Amino acid sequence: MVEQVEYSFDSADGISKIHGRKWIPQGEPIAVIQLVHGMVEYIERYDEFACFLADQGFLVVGHDHIGHGHSVSDDSQLGVMRGKHPSDFMVEDILTNYKLTVAETKDLPYFILGHSMGSYMLRKALAVKAGEFSRLSGAIIVGTGQESAITCRFGLAVIGLVSTFRGKNYRSKLIREMTYSTPYKQFDCYGKDYSRSWLSKNIQNIEKYYQDKYCTYTFTANAYKGLVETTLYDSSLDCLSKTKKDIPYLIASGGQDPVGNLGKGPEIVATAYRRAGIKDVTLQIYKGDRHEILNEVDREQVYQDILKWMKDHM
């Protein structure tokens, strides 16, 4: 039986109370893994994966980002992020959760996994805060991608115009639809045809997703700014030069994931990491899988592969 415990801490934004959850294994844990969730979701969506790892002896921790899940004061604040650079707050919150957990777990091996938006935030965190993740045994980058600087700067220009004329907290359909670029065109992005969902081929999971109020709101313009700024930074030479290089990386993605341009984005990231001097980079592409490989129909294989990779690097 896996014990689950909720906890909280103050966000770096100075306003939010961050909601966290732990999945505690029976007996003494053999290692720790911190989960960093994606855009417009929340940490409890990782319950099946977290319980699997806890059953294998891992202490699993994770939190809801600002503007997400139970880290908001009320539902009207879902998708709302404050500040000039809201991704800075998300990065600081990731680091805070890491430090809190490290303080409780002595010298256990410590892994961190970021999915989708969480993968971009993790990539940024492991660059701008590289020296502060001193206990880290490895990083797992799931469902990530690589966008050109031109695309990101154009997106930021549009977001800037919308923010100027409609306000930073305006929820723009234009911005949302801009994020669904060419690789998304073969998929359903609005919950109208579950069998063609960009998220996964797991229809039961898709049905649950679109019935969940914590997964069906629209980001504000300022929240999109935080995401696009991070995407731009992650592809920069500054990010690569600063990225923590003394740990192994697992980059895992679906071969039909539009976020990763159908497998091309993760390959670019893996190549860039290797060229930047990271010696241990594993790239795993799951042919036919879409964006949420942790929820896909073959997720049990994904779970086993991630588990094996961590055990090999403990």
Q: What is the pLDDT of residues 10-37, one digit of tens each?
A: 999 999 999 999 999 999 999 999 999 9
Structure confidence at residue 240 (pLDDT): 97
Distances (CA, A) of 136 to 5, 118, 121: 23, 17, 16
Distance CA 208, CA 215 (A): 9
Q: Residues 172-231: pLDDT tens digits? A: 999 999 999 999 999 999 999 999 999 999 999 999 999 999 999 999 999 999 999 999
Integer Cα distance of 48 and 70 in angstroms: 19
CATH homologous superfamily, domain 3-312 = Alpha/Beta hydrolase fold, catalytic domain (3.40.50.1820)
* Residue-level pLDDT at 1: 82
Phi and psi angles of residue 150, each rounded to the nearest 5 degrees, phi first = -60, -45
Q: Which residue has the tokens 């969506």?
A: 45
Question: Tell me, what's the pLDDT at 259?
Answer: 98
Spatial distance between the Cα atoms of 229 and 120, rounded to a whole number of angstroms: 10
Over residues 121-133, the pLDDT tens digits come to: 999 999 999 999 9
Tokens encoding 123: 């990539």
| Share of residues in the chain with pLDDT > 90 (%) | 99
This prediction's pTM: 0.97
Buried b (16+ CB within 10 A) or exposed e, 60-72: bbbbbbbbbbbbb
Sequence spans of domains, the chain: 3-312
Match 């696009």 to its residue by tokens.
Answer: 228
